[in-house]
A and B are shown apart, each in its own frame.
Chain A
Amino acid sequence: MSSQQPSAGAAELSRLLLRAADGDAAAFQIFYDRTSAKLFGVILRILPERQEAEDVLQEVFVTVWRKAATFDPARASPITWAATIARNRAIDRLRARPARPMAPVEDALGLADDGPAPDAGLVASQEARRLAQALAQLEPRHAAAIRACYFEGVTYDELAAREQVPVGTLKSWVRRGLMRMRGHLEGGEA
């Protein structure tokens, strides 16, 4: 196993968050400068409408400021902590809508075409490479279902309808896939 040294960037972001928790406005602004584009990207994949995504990003940083004191560097990296808040807020907004517009027809069955790891070339960290490798071991359609849920915030029901498979089938793809992924990440065979 690799030693999980926090990167210099993570250590710096942790310090900024701890300072923000003490009411340090400048530290909070630097944290915003370093992370806002990342979080905005995460939100936009779930909520492609820009104004809505901006509203959510604003809510997210207000939450980051208020909850900075609850951040624990031993439990999560600062960017994971903040990105989790961003995803949760974006998904909450998505779920609050009365009804989702149907995905365009050409998106149906798109999962099969989603390659094993279209983003593998862009990722930098060792964790991201290992995760991409673990997902590459799965049935492409299963890995693509995991990605669709994670990146777009779609529910099992919505994705099953889009893919024209029973919900139970889709759930077992995703859950089996995630268990195997974890098996790879943790060094065992799944």
Chain B
Amino acid sequence: MSAASTPDSGLTGLTEDEALAMDYALGALGRAERKAAELRLVGDPEFRARVERWQQQLAPLDEGTAPVAPPASLWAAIAAETISVAPRAAAAPAPAPARGWWHNLALWRGLGIGAPVAAAIAGAMISAPPGAPDLAPAVAEGPTLRATLAGSDGKPLLAAAYDPASGQVRFAPVAQSDAGAGKVPELWVIEGSNPPRSLGVIDISAGSAHSIPKGRLAGLKEGSILAISIEPIGGSPTGAPTGPVIATGALAAG
């Protein structure tokens, strides 16, 4: 065989570095060579610039690749791993200290909630960056906000649509769910780092609409998390979720 491993690029006018940058950007390197190139990327800005230039020049090839819709359940899995942790917090070396009962994963687990959902909820509460403007004015008008609420397994349980004009949240169950005898579902909104606020006990049967008292509309905005917990009849006696959280989902304009 030819001396394929010779460091010479074999082409005049093409330096070794340029050849390596090209090979890496193209994706043609074997595992070990690839790892070696990635080490160089970290510590060698000039090499990184060479790689990025090739990446940019090759990138338009992707336009020829047909898009394929991923399964709907994938977003819930991603949300559980991401919006639970603010990017800056994720980059920080140490986790933020727990600041309240809602940060206590053991508590959520004790309530029978899967870790991803617990993390999503706890994280949703700490995801507002420090220094961000706090409460936005109450939403009085604006686009309809929608959320798909999924259980800890990522399976969508129900869709919610909030219409600011009427102050109503309408529900459409996706899957059968049963609160159980003597229990009722209660709706919560979690905005930024605030603890969950109750939006009242709800009826999630088909097409039901739930009117939200005017005083509680603040916080129903894009990015806020809706959550449903199972509570004793009449709703949570403490003002905070006491039973298992069966579904969560983020509000988005739609």
Contacts and interface: CB of A to CB of B under 8 A. Distances in A.
Interface of A: 20-30, 32, 36-38, 40-42, 44-45, 54, 57-58, 61-62, 65-69, 75-77, 79-80, 83-84, 87-88, 91-92, 95-96, 118-120, 122-125, 127-128, 130-132, 146-147, 149-151, 153-157, 159, 166-169, 171-172, 174-176, 178-179, 181-182, 185
B63 A58 contact: no
A166 B70 contact: no
B82 to A, nearest CB: 4
Chain B interface residue number, banded: 35 or more
Contact of A150 (B61, B63, B66, B77): B61
A12 B239 CA distance: 40
Q: What does DSSP make chain A's interface, helix, strand, loop or mixed?
A: helix
Given A125-B60, A131-B57, A166-B4, A156 B23 contact: yes
25 contacts: A23-B128, A26-B252, A27-B223, A30-B252, A38-B67, A40-B67, A40-B69, A58-B81, A62-B82, A65-B82, A75-B52, A76-B55, A76-B56, A84-B59, A87-B27, A123-B60, A127-B59, A128-B60, A131-B60, A146-B26, A155-B28, A155-B30, A156-B4, A175-B14, A176-B11
A135 to B, nearest CB: 8
Contacts of B82: 25, 28, 61-62, 65-66
A103 to B, nearest CB: 16
A175 B15 CA distance: 11
B11 A127 contact: no
Given A23-B88, A169-B2, A128 B56 contact: no
A96 B28 CA distance: 14
A150 B58 contact: yes
A153 B27 contact: yes
A91 B27 contact: yes
Given A38-B62, A69-B87, A185-B57, A25 B78 contact: no
A54 B11 contact: no
Interface of B: 1-4, 9-11, 13-14, 19, 22-23, 26-31, 34, 52, 54-71, 74-75, 77-79, 81-83, 85-88, 90-91, 124, 127-129, 132, 222-223, 225, 250-253
Given A23-B132, A62-B82, 7 more contacts: A22-B132, A23-B129, A37-B69, A38-B62, A118-B64, A155-B28, A179-B11
Nearest to B65: A41
B145 to A, nearest CB: 9
A45 B68 CA distance: 11
Contacts of B223: 24-27
A61 B75 CA distance: 9
Contacts of A26: 222-223, 250-253
A147 B64 CA distance: 11
A179 B64 contact: no
B95 to A, nearest CB: 14
Contacts of B67: 37-38, 40-41
A28 B83 contact: yes
Contact of A119 (B27, B59, B64): B64
